Amino acid sequence: MLRILVTDGIEKTALKRLVNMKFDVVEKHFQKIELIKEIENFDVLVVRSATIVDKDIIDAAYRTKRLKLIIRGGVGVDNIDVDYAKQKGIMVRNTPNASSASVAELVIGHIFTMARFIHCANVSMRKGEWNKNQYKGIEVCGKTLGIIGFGRIGRETAKKAKALGMKVKFYDITGPMVGNKLYKYCKLDEILTTSDFISLHVPFNCGEKAVIGQEEISKMKDGAYLINCARGGVIDENALIEALDTGKLAGAAIDVFEKEPAINPVLLSHERVSLTPHIGASTKEAQERIGDEIVDIVYDFIKGREFDGIAKSI
């Protein structure tokens, strides 16, 4: 019988479907030391972001060579040593289609929050303050949104921003999008120098240079806004804080951080920052779609079907 370990939770309907397919499903979070002991007894490992699947875990699984598939319920796979897993004959899959709408809606929510000081007003009013004259915002209609990374989530964000009357430009490492007639493709420098809002939708691998650092921020428009609902590490947090302190940037919206949940305390308390605790995919609908994709991946696995590669952009 196929044994599946779900370490970070899964939507209940999807869990029930797996059980009904007569699989032995264990839903339990293990700390690393425990996981090293247990992993050799499973064929499939399903994780979210809380479980780090590093070389130690993969080596432990390789002792029995039983583990053949790791599924990341979500888009990014930065918590999995994908290359090493493949070297050991273990397939790695993610669920790239499930959360695009949810993340895009969060980006739009953050844009409104920054433009109208909703994050500041919410806190100050609860303190009994009436700071009406301090919160003179801007309208987003007519403003330029520059999107860095034009994968599924980037395209969904563009669609929603365009519906609000924003001018949308994008940059992607793969170049212009074939058949695109709706959005203007630009080089990265043009995105930086001409956008009122910049939203990142790119993956991140540990050890890589941040996509947005001090040099990139220096090229941005004075008073621009920066949004990161992609991955912690794609923005240099220290460079961001400096830009906010000097007024180079009017604000930033951050859903993902370099170290989670140990957030930089300066960033955490900064009045120019709208913060959310990595909730891009945290909607009922997205979780249902993630669960469905996980079940489909397991089904394809037992049927011996070929898998597509992991999404390189988000």
Domains of the chain (ranges plus CATH)?
Answer: 3-98+283-302 (3.40.50.720), 100-275 (3.40.50.720)
Parallel/antiparallel/unpaired status of strands 144-148 and 167-171? parallel
242 is catalytic: no
Q: DSSP states of 228-274 as a string?
A: E-S-TTSB-HHHHHHHHHHTSEEEEEES--SSSSS--HHHHH-TTEE
In 3-state terms, the chain is what percent helix, strand and coil (to 5)? 40, 15, 45
pLDDT at site 227? 98
pLDDT at site 262? 86
Q: CA-CA distance, 198 to 188, in Å (whole number)?
A: 11
pLDDT at site 216? 98
Q: Which of 201, 231, 270, 272 is catalytic?
A: 231
Q: Which of 215, 260, 271, 285 is catalytic?
A: 260
110 is catalytic: no
Starting at the earlier edge strand, list the strands of the sheet with 24-27. 24-27, 3-6, 44-47, 69-72, 91-94
Per-residue pLDDT of the chain (314 residues; tens, 9 = 90+): 899 999 999 999 999 999 999 999 999 999 999 999 999 999 999 999 889 999 999 999 999 999 999 999 988 788 899 999 999 999 999 998 889 999 999 999 999 999 999 999 999 999 999 999 999 999 999 999 999 999 999 999 999 999 999 999 999 999 988 778 899 999 999 999 999 999 999 988 767 889 999 999 999 999 999 999 999 999 999 999 999 999 999 999 999 999 888 899 999 999 999 999 999 999 999 999 999 999 999 999 988 855 444 443 45
- What is the CB-side half-sphere exposure of residue 223 using CA atoms within 13 A? 5
Three-class secondary structure of residue 150 per DSSP: coil
Q: CA-CA distance, 90 to 68, in Å (whole number)?
A: 5
pLDDT at site 177? 82
pLDDT at site 39? 97
- Cβ neighbours of 170 (radius 10 Å): 24
pLDDT at site 82? 93
278 is catalytic: yes
